[in-house]
Chain A
Amino acid sequence: MTCDICERIKSKKGLVYLSEKVAVFIPEEAVTRGHIVVAPIGHYPILESVPEETIKEMFIIANKVGIAVFEGLGAQGTNFLIQNGTAAGQEYPHVMLNVIPRKENDGIDMLWTPKQMTEEEMSTIELQLKEQMKEGGEQKPAETRESEKKDGAKKENEKKEDYRLKSLIRIP
C-alpha cells in the first residue's frame, strides 16, 4: 500500500526543504495561505512510532519554518498542530507537524470550550499520568530497544502496540 505523504515527498511537489530525516512541503489542502507541513521522511503512522531524534529535528525545523513564515508571508502568529490519530482529525497514516500562519481576525477557530472538572477528577488524572510518566511514558528500557533491532521481535512489539494503531486502521 502506498502512502500519499511518502509519494508527495518523493514527487518533490511543493517541496521547500529536505534533510536526511525531515521533509518540508506546501500541502495540497491548507488551513491558511502559507500553511506548511513538516513530516518525517520515513513512513511513521503515529507520533509514538517516530524515533526521538526525528521528533527533535521536526520541531527544530518547524520552529525555523515558523520564523520564515513571519518574514516571508507577513504572518502575525503561528499555530503548530499535530493530529495524532483519527480521533484527533488525522487524515493520512503519516505523522505531520502543521505550521499554520495566522493573522488577527482571520476567522480561523482553533480554540476550545473549557470543560469543568472537579478537584477530585483532576487529582485522579494527575496520579494516573504521573505514574505512567514514571513507567511507560519514559524512554523504553535498553533491553527492549535491543530486541527491537531484531526483526522478529520488532513484529511482536508492533502487535503489542496495535491498540494505539487501531484507530488508524479505519483510514481508507
Chain B
Amino acid sequence: MEQLTKEQKDQIRQQCIFCQIIDGKVAAKKVYEDEKVVALLDINPANPGHILLLPKDHIAIMPQMDDSLIGYMAVIAKRLSQSILRALHAQGTTIFIANGTAAGQRAPHFMMHIIPRMEDDNIGLKPEMKKQSEEEIAQVHAALFPAIKKVLGKAIEPATKPKKELEIRKETKNAGRTVQTPGAQVTNPKLDAITDLLTKK
C-alpha cells in the first residue's frame, strides 16, 4: 500500500470512530488494553458480553495486517474467549470476522468479534451448510491450488482433476454495493475502498 503522510494518517484517525475510542476521545467500556490492541464491549451486542478486539493502528482489513500482529490478536482472542466462559458462564463462544462489505463489515477498522453463546440463544451465526460433491471439492481445489501456492509458498495438488472448471462469476465493479441482510442496510462510501482493496489483483 502507498505510504500516507502523517497528516493523512491523522485525518483517517479523526474520521474513524474506533480510532477515536482507542485514542480516548470517545468513551467505551474497555475490558482489555495493551500497547498493540484494545478489547471493548460492543454497544450493539449479539449477546451480553459481546467483545470487539481491535488493533490500535488503523487497519481496515485483515489482509493488511502483518503476521505477528495477527498471531498476537489470535492469542488475545483466545484469552478473551476463556474469560467469557469463566466470568460470564457462557456455554460457548463464537469468534467472527468480516472482511469487506460483502461479508457484512460495517466499520472501516479491522475487528474480531468474540461473542458469548448459550444453548438455544437463537442469535444466528450458525450458517447453513450444504453438502459438496467430490467433483465440487475437486473444482474448488483446482481453482485454489495456484493461489494457495502463491501466498503460502507451497500447496497440495488435487488428487483428481475436476471434469469441469469452476465457474467464477465476475461481478461488475459497482454491482450492488449495498449489503442486503436482514437488519442491516449498509451504504458507506468509506467502505468502498475496502471492497476495492479486497478485490484488486
Contacts and interface: CB of A to CB of B under 8 A. Distances in A.
Interface size class of B (residues with CB under 8 A): 35 or more
Interface residues of A, number: 89
Given A18-B156, A102-B102, A104-B179, A33 B93 contact: no
A107 to B, nearest CB: 9
Interface string A87-99: 1111000000100
Contact of B44 (A24, A78, A114): A114
A129 B144 contact: no
Interface stretch (A117-125, A141-149, A150-158): A117-125
Nearest to A64: B151
A27 B198 CA distance: 24
28 contacts: A16-B144, A17-B155, A26-B140, A26-B144, A29-B132, A30-B132, A31-B127, A36-B144, A48-B85, A55-B74, A59-B74, A64-B151, A67-B151, A69-B147, A71-B147, A81-B94, A84-B92, A87-B91, A100-B127, A103-B169, A104-B101, A111-B183, A122-B29, A125-B88, A129-B83, A129-B84, A137-B82, A138-B79
Interface of A: 12-18, 24, 26-31, 33-34, 36, 47-48, 50, 52, 55-61, 63-90, 97, 100, 102-106, 108-115, 117, 121-123, 125-126, 128-133, 136-139, 164, 167
